[in-house]
């Protein structure tokens, strides 16, 4: 039956930084805008026509045109993006009959989920909850002990507190602990992320802020400390409120409006960088999946040690389909890509059984398929970004055939070391004319599932 009303879909695209959200959204829009059923197969859903870009009602706009232009013109990947942008469009979809669709894609950096623990709290409650959560967890306490000791001292110094807190957060980052809040320390508002190498501790603590900017940093204080230095506590409280207003409320409200979710995971990167990153990604996934559940805020409240239960009505009831995507599958030889899906399924197993009423899909995809299979099994052809000595090649250099030493396993190894697996970075393969969308894998199938 044809549907004559406009169907609305709001898709949250989530994943940690560098999992490919910007490239994914850019390529998907490109295929919608210049739809060709030979390149983008929507099956029984039919074909897309009458594509129109819309201005999202709120929030920063996802800069589709310039990302697309730049990739085609320079042959390089997009520059780092600011967080939380949106793209909206409308089109007709169908065969004999058409339905009107309005689609919004929202870019959600996974790192920001840690800040949901500030939702609906006062500065003092947030401080207490966070410090209590740290103290209750033996995995955390060793890393944060110097900060806890400092807060208990009689005279407090703002700069010293901020610096010590950031050192504590740095140790948590280096040990793959997920409770990093304010998350601007893990992902600055302009998209930068600190290195977790110990050599970089001093520069990271200087360059990354716990707050909106250098002059709006805040740290949690105990109730005793708040009482002993009310001026400092007032200052932190007003910065905390500003952060809630600027970062936390927009994030939560935006997520509440979504009805579909894409979760990107970069499995080649996880294999290459080692089991620590796997655990890190698993932690981030836990939060993302909780977001997909009906009782997002209640669950997160427990996780973030929120003392007060939320009023009824503050529930996530919207997300009905979640697509887990093993992104950048073109970094892996074609006949090993199904193994990525096995690894992806193993990662999401725990959370799915806890969730009801939501449809799940697991799939591998490349948003901009930049390699093809080579002559030898296990080899690929692409424009490698680095040569064998690790020197950067120019985007204009020729394609080359290269082999991968180790196959993608179909189950996670019990242990392995960084660089046991290596998946070389390649430059994007994307036609310069913007009306020719790039080759992709499975973007159409993902949309078929989500629409
Ligand atoms: N080979 C390949 N690499 C990709 C693809 N998508 C993203 N990348 C790589 O991942 C990096 C991060 O992508 P980006 O979209 O900026 O990630 P974001 O931080 O999640 O928005 C890019 O610079 C590319 O190196 C893809 O489809 N294929
Ligand atoms: Mg991005």
Q: pLDDT digits over 272-294, tens only?
A: 988 877 877 776 676 555 555 54
Cβ proximity of 107 and 83 under 8 Å: yes
Q: Where are the domains of the chain?
A: 7-110+258-269+318-450, 112-251
Helix/strand/coil for 252? helix
What per-residue confidence (pLDDT) applies to 302?
46
Higher pLDDT, 448 or 115: 448
Helix/strand/coil for 257? coil
Ligand lying nearest the CA atom of residue 442 = 1
Does the pLDDT value for residue 390 go beyond 70? yes
Query: For atom 9 of ligand 1, which residue has the closest CA?
Result: 20
Question: Residue with structure tokens 């003092």?
Answer: 124
Which of the four pLDDT bands, split at 50, 70 and 90, describes residue 352? low
Structural domain 7-110+258-269+318-450, CATH architecture = 3-Layer(aba) Sandwich (3.40)
Ligand lying nearest the CA atom of residue 62 = 2
Q: pLDDT digits over 211-232, tens only?
A: 999 999 999 999 999 999 999 9
Q: Which residues contact 215 (CB under 8 A, 6 or more apart)?
A: none
Using omega within 30 degrees of 0 as the cis cutoff, is the peptide bond preceding 137 cis?
no
Q: Is 84 left (phi over 0), alpha (psi -120 to 50) or beta?
A: left
What per-residue confidence (pLDDT) applies to 356?
57
Cβ proximity of 90 and 98 under 8 Å: no
Mutate to test the pocket of ligand 1, among 18, 106, 363 (most ligand atoms within 8 A of CB): 18
Ligand 1 center to residue 313 CA distance, Å?
A: 37
In 3D, which of 65, 59, 76, 66 has the Cα closest to residue 10?
A: 59
Higher pLDDT, 358 or 151: 151
Q: pLDDT digits over 241-273, tens only?
A: 999 999 988 887 788 788 899 999 999 999 998
Mutate to test the pocket of ligand 1, among 16, 64, 77 (most ligand atoms within 8 A of CB): 77
* Angle in degrees, CA 406, 410, 413, rounded to 5: 70
Alpha-carbon distance of 84 to 112, in angstroms, equals 9
User: Residues of the chain with pLDDT > 70: what percent?
Assistant: 89
Q: Does 331 contact ligand 1 (Cβ within 6 A)?
A: yes
Q: Does 269 contact ligand 1 (Cβ within 6 A)?
A: no
Ligand lying nearest the CA atom of residue 63 = 2
Q: What is the mean pLDDT of the chain?
A: 87
Alpha-carbon distance of 414 to 423, in angstroms, equals 20
Ligand 1 center to residue 209 CA distance, Å?
A: 25
Please report which helix (H) or strand (E) contains residue 371, including its range.
strand 371-373
Query: For atom 7 of ligand 1, which residue has the closest CA?
Result: 20
Q: What sections of 178-295 are H helices per DSSP?
A: 201-207, 223-228, 230-243, 249-256, 267-273, 275-292
Question: Residue with structure tokens 């979760």?
Answer: 263
Alpha-carbon distance of 299 to 297, in angstroms, equals 5
CA 442 to mean position of chain CA atoms: 19
Query: For atom 4 of ligand 1, which residue has the closest CA?
Result: 328
Q: What sections of 34-102 are H helices per DSSP?
A: 64-74
Q: Does 328 contact ligand 1 (Cβ within 6 A)?
A: yes
């Amino acid at each position: 039956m044809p549907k004559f009303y406009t169907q609305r879909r709001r898709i949250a695209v989530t994943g940690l930084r560098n999992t490919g959200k910007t490239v994914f959204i850019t390529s998907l829009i490109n295929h919608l805008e210049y739809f060709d059923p030979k390149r983008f197969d929507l099956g029984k859903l039919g074909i897309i026509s009458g594509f129109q870009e819309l201005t999202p009602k709120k929030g920063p706009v996802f800069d589709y045109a310039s990302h697309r232009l730049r990739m085609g013109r320079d042959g390089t990947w997009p520059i780092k993006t600011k967080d939380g942008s949106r793209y909206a469009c409308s089109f007709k979809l169908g065969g004999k009959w058409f339905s009107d669709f309005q689609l919004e894609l929202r870019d959600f950096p996974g790192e920001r989920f840690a800040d949901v623990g500030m939702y609906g709290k006062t500065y003092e409650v947030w401080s207490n909850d966070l410090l209590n959560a740290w103290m209750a967890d033996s995995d955390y306490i060793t890393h944060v002990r110097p900060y806890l000791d400092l807060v208990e001292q009689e005279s407090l110094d703002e700069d010293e507190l901020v610096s010590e807190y950031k050192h504590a957060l740095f140790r948590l980052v280096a040990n793959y602990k997920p409770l990093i809040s304010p998350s601007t320390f893990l992902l600055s508002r302009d998209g930068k992320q600190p290195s977790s190498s110990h050599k970089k501790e001093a520069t990271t603590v200087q360059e990354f802020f716990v707050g909106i900017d250098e002059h709006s940093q805040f740290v949690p204080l105990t109730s005793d400390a708040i009482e002993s230095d009310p001026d400092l506590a007032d200052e932190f409280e007003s910065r905390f409120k500003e952060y809630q207003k600027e970062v936390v409320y927009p994030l939560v409200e935006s997520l509440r409006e979504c009805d579909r979710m894409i979760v990107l995971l970069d499995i080649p990167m996880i294999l290459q960088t080692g089991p620590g990153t796997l655990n890190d990604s698993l932690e981030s996934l836990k939060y993302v999946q909780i977001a997909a559940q009906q009782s997002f805020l209640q669950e997160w409240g427990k996780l973030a040690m929120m003392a007060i239960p939320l009023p009824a009505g503050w529930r996530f009831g919207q997300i009905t389909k979640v697509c887990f995507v093993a992104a950048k599958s073109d970094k892996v030889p074609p006949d090993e890509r199904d193994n990525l899906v096995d690894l992806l399924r193993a990662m999401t197993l725990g959370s799915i059984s806890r969730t009801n009423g939501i449809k799940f899909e697991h799939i591998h995809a490349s948003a901009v398929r930049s390699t093809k299979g080579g002559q030898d099994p296990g080899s690929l052809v692409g424009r490698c970004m680095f040569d064998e000595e690790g020197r950067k090649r120019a985007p204009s250099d020729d394609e080359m055939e290269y082999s991968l030493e180790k196959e993608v396993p179909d189950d996670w190894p019990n242990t392995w070391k960084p660089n046991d697996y290596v998946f070389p970075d390649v430059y994007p393969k994307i036609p310069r004319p913007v009306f020719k969308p790039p080759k992709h894998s499975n973007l159409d199938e993902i949309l078929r599932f989500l629409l």
